[in-house]
Amino acid sequence: MNKLSVLDLDVHGKRVLVRADFNVPLDEQGQITDFLRIEESLPTIKFLTAHGAKTILISHLGRPKGKVVEKLRLTPVQKALEANLKMPIRKMDSCVGPEVKAAVDQLKNGDILLLENVRFHAEEEANDEAFTKQLAELADYYVNDAFGTAHRAHASTCAIASHFKKAAAGLLMAKEIGFLSKAIRAPEHPFVALLGGAKVSDKIGVIKHLADKVDIFIIGGAMAYTFLAAFGHEVGDSKVEADKLDLARQIEAELKKYRCKLLLPVDHIIAQEFKSDIPTRITEGVDIPSGWMGLDIGPKTIIRFEEAIRGAKLVLWNGPMGVFEMAEYRKGTFEIARFLANTEAVTIVGGGDSAAAVHRSGVAHKINHVSTGGGASLEFLEGKVLPGVAALTRKTARIPIIAGNWKMNNGIAEAKTLINELINQADGIANVDKVVAPPFIALPSVARRIKGTSITLAAQNMHYEERGAYTGEVSPAMLKEVGCKYVILGHSERRTYFGETNELINKKILAAFKHGLIPIVCVGETEDQRETGQAQQVITEQVYGCFANLSQEQMGRVIVAYEPLWAIGTGKTATPEQAQGVHAQIRQLLEDKFGDEVAQAVRIQYGGSVKPENIAELIAQPDIDGALVGGASLKASSFSQLIAKSENT
């Protein structure tokens, strides 16, 4: 995780504001019925108190809609924390104001102060800046340990982080991200995803995002009936999203492209009404008779699903297999939970109903990770950037790098005009590394004009030999002599038109380092490779092949450019989430090969129809550190806008 952790902070004697998730269920008497979220918050709180911090806890509870609701005060949470931590905890009746400031000033090292429900203030959900500033003034450091609300851009989860030099992840937040990342970055195979719940529409984002990573998708719960209906089966009165039948068929076609297997129920527990204490039946096959509805998977389906899970190395489960809240319809969910608890696979259970089901089945302690976030875990698995996570301080501050590849455009006269305009418009933009890569013949004249500016020079290619009978080639020593700092290697056009291989690119990288040049190394898949599920394998082979035999010091200086070939010069652009997914995969591959410290230091650019209109969204992703720009770099105004927007992101 490329985010600062609470473990990275020197908290002794410091005021630390911790955004916890104490949104626990209460009964009619106001008693907590599930302590999971409180229990999961304890490691961070204990770490802070043990290290002498002055801990200030803030959370929401329920949906008071910006008003004080007496039954949603955090008093039950205060009592639960005191019982678990075995120490007194003072609770305030508000989260801002003079009384809160005075209480914070009275804190001693190791003390804990609990603020009142932050959602009693409408400014919280509005992400209000003035309210955020009041919260921030209470502390020296900010720690977000509320993964369950990380998908909300609220004052205490998002805007507040910008007021601190160090905004860190709590131990629960780090654990959540670490486990869920296993499923979307570089999962072990076989990888099985088990999805249930009521609606296909709730899970479509997860299916699409994981389609090229999962080996088997298992669909249960009410959403299975939409799929079965789409494929021509009789489903009786079962819950079906009639407007999603075409979508279900599209999903099946999409999974086939990636050679991903789709499993659906082959029998069901059925009843004539959606209620308990009525007669039930087990169907003999897939079809459900008219007047009956499916409410759980049947015994044959349980065996079918368990056989598919057997031998998996990673299993992701989100959504129950049936109406587990009723005794008659919980067997499928509980049997699957117990089977998962005894498998050798790494098991990850998403939040919400599936987490509740695992706990009620009594095997939660045997699951590797049960998420505390329902909506947050779903959005994370869809590849979305969670505002509460994105706002945290990066552990390694990587300066964005924007490189303009002019390709075979601009002779000497045109190059002079373009670079003069670029100097006037972009030289003063700070906190961004700015690089231009003109054609070979224009390198000397551009080098002279950028001398003394913040713009640096790159070449578009080079040979790996120092000298010799290589007609038409340029050596690394020549590029260094003319003033180049960088050299672009392995560009998709070099691979496509000139047959360059990973092995050849590796030779060029080593030669570049020998002569003091920094290589910008391109990797990326074709549209055909992406559609046939080969993208991950292609990227892996390119990373391992291109960076073979590099030292950790050398790898730490490489710039990697991910360029999906299907998005170069086509006007198509990978969505920010798609690009982030591949960037995260590349960083994980680098971590596996060179270690975490090196992987976090490497800057990874995106290259593929980058424009001023989309750069901010792209570079806002946690693993995208800049752009390798083609067409948009040929106009000084466009390229300058790209640079400026990268600085402001």
Spatial separation of the C-alpha atoms in residues 333 and 319, rounded to whole Å: 9
Is residue 252 part of the annotated active site? The answer reads no
pLDDT by residue (tens digit) across 401-456?
Answer: 999 999 999 999 999 999 999 999 999 888 899 999 999 999 999 999 999 999 99
- With 70 as the cut, is the pLDDT of residue 569 above it? no
- Give the residue from 643, 627, 624, 526 showing the smallest Cα distance to 578: 624
CA 88, chain centre distance (Å): 38
Q: Where are the alpha helices (DSSP H) in 129-170?
A: 129-136
- With 80 as the cut, is the pLDDT of residue 219 above it? yes
Provide the 3-class DSSP secondary structure of residue 48: helix
Predicted pLDDT of residue 386: 85
Predicted pLDDT of residue 103: 97
Predicted pLDDT of residue 572: 67
pLDDT by residue (tens digit) across 164-203?
Answer: 988 999 999 999 988 887 777 668 899 999 999 888 888 8
Catalytic residue, from 116, 493, 563, 577: name it. 563
Q: Where are the domains of the chain?
A: 6-169, 185-384, 401-647
Tokens representing 439 are 């054609």
Q: Could you tell me which residues are beta bridge partners of residue 559?
A: 520, 603
pLDDT by residue (tens digit) across 376-410?
Answer: 988 888 877 788 988 888 776 689 999 999 999 99
Predicted pLDDT of residue 648: 52
List the Cα angle 555/603/182 in 5-degree steps: 90
Residue 573: pLDDT band with limits 50, 70, 90: low
Predicted pLDDT of residue 327: 93
Buried b (16+ CB within 10 A) or exposed e, 447-477: bebbeeeebbbbbbbbbbeeeeeeeeebbbb
Half-sphere exposure of 42 (CA within 13 A, CB side): 16
Task: Tell me how far apart the 2 most distant CA atoms of the chain are, in Å.
Answer: 88
CATH number among 3.30.465.10, 3.20.20.70, 3.90.1150.60, 3.20.20.10, domain 401-647: 3.20.20.70
pLDDT by residue (tens digit) across 301-328?
Answer: 999 999 999 999 999 999 999 999 999 9
Burial of 601 (0-12, 13-18, 19+ CB in 10 A): middle
Spatial separation of the C-alpha atoms in residues 298 and 286, rounded to whole Å: 10
pLDDT by residue (tens digit) across 32-78?
Answer: 998 999 999 999 999 999 999 999 999 999 999 999 999 999 999 99
Question: Is it true that 6-169 and 401-647 share their CATH fold?
Answer: no
pTM of the model: 0.67
Q: What is the mean pLDDT of residues 521-545?
A: 89
Is residue 28 part of the annotated active site? The answer reads no
- With 80 as the cut, is the pLDDT of residue 574 above it? no
pLDDT by residue (tens digit) across 263-295?
Answer: 999 999 999 999 999 999 999 999 999 999 999
Mean residue pLDDT of the chain comes to 92
Count other C-beta atoms under 10 Å from residue 516's C-beta: 12
Predicted pLDDT of residue 430: 85
Q: What is the mean pLDDT of residues 572-578?
A: 75
Tokens representing 405 are 């590849």
Spatial separation of the C-alpha atoms in residues 128 and 374, rounded to whole Å: 25
pLDDT by residue (tens digit) across 325-383?
Answer: 999 999 999 999 999 999 999 999 987 888 889 999 999 999 999 999 888 988 888 87
Predicted pLDDT of residue 264: 97
Provide the 3-class DSSP secondary structure of residue 597: helix
Domain 6-169 belongs in CATH node 2.130.10.10: no
Contact 229, 185 (CB under 8 A): no
Predicted pLDDT of residue 186: 65
Catalytic residue, from 60, 209, 491, 583: name it. 491
Q: Which CATH architecture has domain 185-384?
A: 3-Layer(aba) Sandwich (3.40)
Q: What percent of the chain has pLDDT over 90?
A: 75
| 591: DSSP letter | H
Q: Pseudo-torsion of CA 377, 381, 383, 386, nearest 10°?
A: 10
Q: What percent of the chain has pLDDT over 70?
A: 98
Count other C-beta atoms under 10 Å from residue 32's C-beta: 17
